[in-house]
């Protein structure tokens, strides 16, 4: 089978789906949209403004990373992205849902706030982009891109600061899932892909890379996505916003991830 994947280069849910396609060996073509023009284009094709979207041979269209991963498992069962054991499957689905509904938005808000402070970093996120945009044009386009994306993603200074204050708790939750085996098994599952892609994008901020890399959660992200375009220099985020990340991590209790998933 073959497919066409519609994406924004560097998008974390798009990276999730690209990794799933690679794991399953599915041949696919990529259509890359420029942000923020992806919103109307995706709406036209998929009736939903967000990426990714995929079109399979025969014309079937599916939008959203979780829906796409479910369909990939139906079309190409091996390797499965969900465990066969019902209890383990439910834990993975809960973690994946949290990664999609909570963590993705956190990363978008923090990243677009940071890029508003350092718009000169935007070209680094397009290093391996397929779009034929002259590099000299990106700095000219950056203010418009940042303004629209900040508005679409509610990326405000207050919101980014609150997200960073909450980040240690999010990392504790992910580390708990790693400790109880929901994440980080011998075979990558849907929640691994969903959560690791978000964390890896967050690690393109130099202010966050070292604190995250010191955690099991960050190590998972680096293992699954060793290469990821983008670099936002250190000093972009205010130092007093990062104090909670310098505190020792809370050791994950046995079963912590499962209970956390139920609250997500």
Q: Say how far apart CA 215 and CA 86 lie, in whole Å.
A: 29
Dist. CA 198–CA 71, nearest whole Å: 21
Structure tokens at 60: 């079937």
Query: What pTM did the predictor assign?
Result: 0.92
Confidence band for 259, pLDDT divided at 50, 70 and 90: very low
Classify residue 102 by its DSSP letter: I
What's the pLDDT band for 136 if we cut at 50, 70, 90?
confident
Q: In this predicted structure, what is the pLDDT of residue 264? A: 35
139 pLDDT more than 90: no
Q: Among 154, 159, 164, 157, which residue's Cα sits nearest to residue 241?
A: 164
Q: In the structure, what pLDDT confidence band is assigned to residue 247 with cuts at 50, 70 and 90?
A: low
Residue 173 has pLDDT above 60, yes or no: yes
Q: What is the mean pLDDT of residues 54-62?
A: 96
Kindly state the average pLDDT of the residues 154-183.
98
Domains within the chain, CATH numbers bracketed:
2-75 (3.40.30.10), 86-263 (1.20.1050)
Residue 237 has pLDDT above 80, yes or no: yes
pLDDT (tens digit, 9 = 90+) per residue, 28-55? 999 999 988 899 999 999 999 999 999 9
How does the average pLDDT of the chain come out, rounded? 93
């Amino acid at each position: 089978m073959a497919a066409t994947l519609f994406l924004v280069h560097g998008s974390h849910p798009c990276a999730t789906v690209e990794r799933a396609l690679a794991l399953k060996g599915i041949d696919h073509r990529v259509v890359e949209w420029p942000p923020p023009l992806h919103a109307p284009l995706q709406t036209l094709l998929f009736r939903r403004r967000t990426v990714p979207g995929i079109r399979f041979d025969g014309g079937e269209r599916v939008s959203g990373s979780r829906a796409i991963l479910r369909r990939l498992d139906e079309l190409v069962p091996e390797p499965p992205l969900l465990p066969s054991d019902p209890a383990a499957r439910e834990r993975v689905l809960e973690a994946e849902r949290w990664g999609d509904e909570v963590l993705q938005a956190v990363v978008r808000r923090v990243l677009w706030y940071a890029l508003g402070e350092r718009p000169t970093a935007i070209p680094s996120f397009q290093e391996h982009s397929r779009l034929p945009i002259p590099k000299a044009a990106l700095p000219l386009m950056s203010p418009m891109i940042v303004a629209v994306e900040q508005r679409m993603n509610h990326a405000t200074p207050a919101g980014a600061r609150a997200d960073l204050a909450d980040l240690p708790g999010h990392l504790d939750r992910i580390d708990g899932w790693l400790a109880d085996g929901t994440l980080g098994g011998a075979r990558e599952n849907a929640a691994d892909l969903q959560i690791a892609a978000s964390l890896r994008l967050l690690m393109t901020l130099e202010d966050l890379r070292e604190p995250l890399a010191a955690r099991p959660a960050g190590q998972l992200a680096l293992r699954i996505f060793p290469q990821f375009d983008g670099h936002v220099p250190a000093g972009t985020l205010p130092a007093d916003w990062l104090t909670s990340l310098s505190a020792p991590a809370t050791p994950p209790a046995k079963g912590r991830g499962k209970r956390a998933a139920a609250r997500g």
